[in-house]
Amino acid sequence: MDVIIENLPLYWNGFLRTLFLSAVSGIFALILGTLLAAARVSPVAALRGFSTVYVEVLRNTPLTIAFFFAAVVLPRIGVKFEQFEIAAIIALSTYTAAFIAEAVRSGVNSVPVGQAEAARSIGMKFGQVLSLIILPQALRTVIPPLINILIALVKNSSVAGAFFVLELFGYGRQMANANGDAVITVLLGTAFFYLLLTVPLGILANTVERKVAIAR
């Protein structure tokens, strides 16, 4: 127990960095994922094709490959960045966006087709139908899987530790190495701080889900 209290500043530091990585990547992933979902249901075949390929490739390959591309391949082809955090954010958001796109798409499909037909019948364009009629109604069904994806994102951010980014798991490993006699306690402490991030997300999911419920 002492080892956790002694290293509390390190834990806190790691916690904040993981929070930062997850929050920024989460926002980018939500934006990108929603755009991909919109492309997937759009009337333009090329957009549908692009979105399908993107989602299938990113969803079906390991996150470490996305990290490898962002951290190693991108700099080689001329995309340089000062910090590896940026590579981590690129990898995490592009990877997570694929899952978000699928969740949003299933939400879109859960809205009765008559809603879109009615909206098109009064002369709305594709973007208006989606943003004014479909997505607001899809939100209710999308929130639970979306939060699941964000929880996975928080945990996936630990992969950044292997790519020169210090975050909660990276600090945890450092501390475990420094305190060889208390490895289990150190790791339990690390797990606790992850829970501190993910459990509130789950609670948030329930609250939001109740708030956006639509009567039918």
Partner 1 sequence: MIGVITHSLFARFFPMTTHVPDDALVTLNAVNKHYGQLHVLKDINLKVRKGEVVVVIGPSGSGKSTLCRAINRLETIEGGSISIDGKVLPEEGKELAQLRADVGMVFQSFNLFAHKTILENVTLGPIKVKGTSKAAAEKDAMALLERVGVGHQAPKLPAQLSGGQQQRVAIARALAMKPKVMLFDEPTSALDPEMINEVLDVMVQLAKEGMTMIVVTHEMGFARKAADRVVFMADGQIVEDATPEEFFTNPKSDRAKDFLSKLLTH
| Residues at the contact surface with partner 1, assessed by CB under 8 A | 43, 112, 114-115, 117-125, 128, 132-133, 136-137, 214-216
Closest CB to partner 1 among residues 127, 200: 127
* Short-list 5, 168, 182, CA closest to 88: 168
Which one, 64 or 115, has the nearer CB to partner 1?
A: 115
Q: Which two three-digit tokens encode residue 200?
A: 């509130």
CB of 17 to partner 1, least distance (A): 38
Cβ nearer to partner 1, comparing 138 with 150: 138
- Smallest separation, CB 214 to partner 1 (Å): 5
Q: Are 182 and 173 in contact (CB under 8 A)?
A: no
Write the CB contacts of 173 (distance below 8 Å, at least 6 apart in sequence): 161
The closest of 100, 187, 171 to 135, measured between CA atoms, is 100
Closest separation in Å from C-beta 183 to partner 1: 52
Alpha carbon separation from 73 to 60, 85, 116, 152 (Å, rounded): 19, 15, 42, 25
- Give the nearer residue to partner 1 in terms of CB position, either 79 or 213: 213
As measured in angstroms, the least distance from the Cβ of 145 to partner 1 is 19
